[in-house]
């Protein structure tokens, strides 16, 4: 039976991660810590399973994370907007407290039902999941029996792992930290088995974020 190996990677650390600003679709680059994380990630993956293709969200923080991994294997990074982070609409760039202060009623409704209630002017969890799942299904169909990497954001990592049945239906689970790796084996019938979830063993302690 054909088995595809899927590695999902969250992008490296940014200044907005540092200040706890919601990045959404903002083109925020990696900072020095994030670039160092990406180098450690690439070094670790060079000693692992061969990679046949690497896809990335087209947002700069993901492209910068994917680039050193792709270079190790002589691959081109394939950009796919399906793997972008949540569209946060009017709340992009705000802290959690600022979101709550901006519109307490909408904040409470979204917190109670994030699956159906979108960010104002942006996406709900259902909307995010629909586009991520469509992108993921297309990638898996394109690379049967291969090892494919997708560099993305925490929201899409959650959505992909929920779709594959290796993450709780809610958002609960281990923290998906910067440059963490989640590795899943997917057979030709769509059955999935988790190999690693949110692993950061490639990072020295001073780079964990």
φ/ψ of 195, rounded to 5, equals: -100, -45
Give the active site residue among 85, 123, 147, 202: 85
Burial class (CB in 10 A: 0-12, 13-18, 19+), 152: buried
Contact 202, 39 (CB under 8 A): no
Paired residues of 79 in beta bridges: 56
Residue 11 annotated among the catalytic residues of the structure: yes
Q: Residue 135: how many CB atoms within 10 A of its CB?
A: 22
Q: Strands 192-199 and 53-56, how do they pair?
A: unpaired
Give the active site residue among 11, 147, 153, 202: 11
CA 201/CA 110 separation, integer angstroms: 34
Q: Order of strands, edge to edge, in the sheet holding 3-10?
A: 77-79, 53-56, 147-152, 3-10, 181-187, 192-199
Quote the radius of gyration of the chain (alpha carbons, Å).
17
Q: Which residues contact 160 (CB under 8 A, 6 or more apart)?
A: 8, 132, 133, 136, 150, 152
Residue 85 annotated among the catalytic residues of the structure: yes
Positions marked catalytic: 11, 85
């Amino acid at each position: 039976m054909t088995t595809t190996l899927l590695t999902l990677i969250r992008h490296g650390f940014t200044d907005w991660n540092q200040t706890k600003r919601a990045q959404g679709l903002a083109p925020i680059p990696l900072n020095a810590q994030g670039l160092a994380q990406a180098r450690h990630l690439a070094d670790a993956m060079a000693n692992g399973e061969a990679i046949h293709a690497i896809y990335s969200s087209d947002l700069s923080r993901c492209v910068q994370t994917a680039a050193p991994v792709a270079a190790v294997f002589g691959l081109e990074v394939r950009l796919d907007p399906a793997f972008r982070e949540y569209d946060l609409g009017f709340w992009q760039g705000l802290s959690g407290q600022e979101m709550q202060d901006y519109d307490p009623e909408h904040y409470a409704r979204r917190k109670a039902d994030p699956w159906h209630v979108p960010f104002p002017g942006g996406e709900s969890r259902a909307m995010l999941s629909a586009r991520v799942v469509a992108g993921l299904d297309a990638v898996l169909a394109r690379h049967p029996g291969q090892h494919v990497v997708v560099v993305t954001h925490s929201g899409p990592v959650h959505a992909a792992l929920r779709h594959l049945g290796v993450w709780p239906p809610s958002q609960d689970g281990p923290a998906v930290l910067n440059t963490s790796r989640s590795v899943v084996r997917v057979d030709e019938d769509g059955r999935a088995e988790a190999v690693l979830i949110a692993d950061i063993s490639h990072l020295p302690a001073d780079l964990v974020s």
